[in-house]
Amino acid sequence: RYRNFVLSIEFRCGDDTNSGVFVRSPDESGGYEVQIWRQQPAGFNTGSIVGTAKTARAFTLEPDRWNHYQITANGERLTVMLNGETTLDVHDGKFSEGHVRLQYQQFPIAFRNIKIHSLP
């Protein structure tokens, strides 16, 4: 279980993949889902946190190449960076700690170089 941290993770997928990286997931479901999906129907596209915050503009991932997320959770502040560009910087206190989970939904996706650094 993690409370405050910086998560670095690389992912590779196609242009139409629906996936995500969950952080502060309290049990086997829930938590913050950092979206990997170009055209999510409700507008929570790549770089958004589903149900919490949408990006101000569209951010694109490089299909069939390694992309990099850096996700920082420090207190109520959540920051998401995709390939070195900040997609979100928001405050939300719904989930204070939990597990990291990787999502797979019918489309091929690969993850690698998963590193987490706890913050005080």
In this model, does residue 38 exceed pLDDT 80?
A: yes
Contact by Cβ (8 Å): 22, 33: yes
Q: Is residue 70 exposed (0-12), middle (13-18) or buried (19+ Cβ within 10 Å)? A: middle
**pTM of this structure:** 0.95
pLDDT in tens, 59-96: 989 999 999 999 999 999 999 999 999 999 999 999 99
106 pLDDT more than 80: no
> Among residues of the chain, what percentage have pLDDT more than 90?
88
Contacts of 29 (CB under 8 A, 6+ apart): none
Neighbours of 61 (CB within 10 A): 24
Would you state the pLDDT for residue 116?
98
Give the pLDDT of residue 27: 82
Is the model's pLDDT at 107 over the cut of 90? no
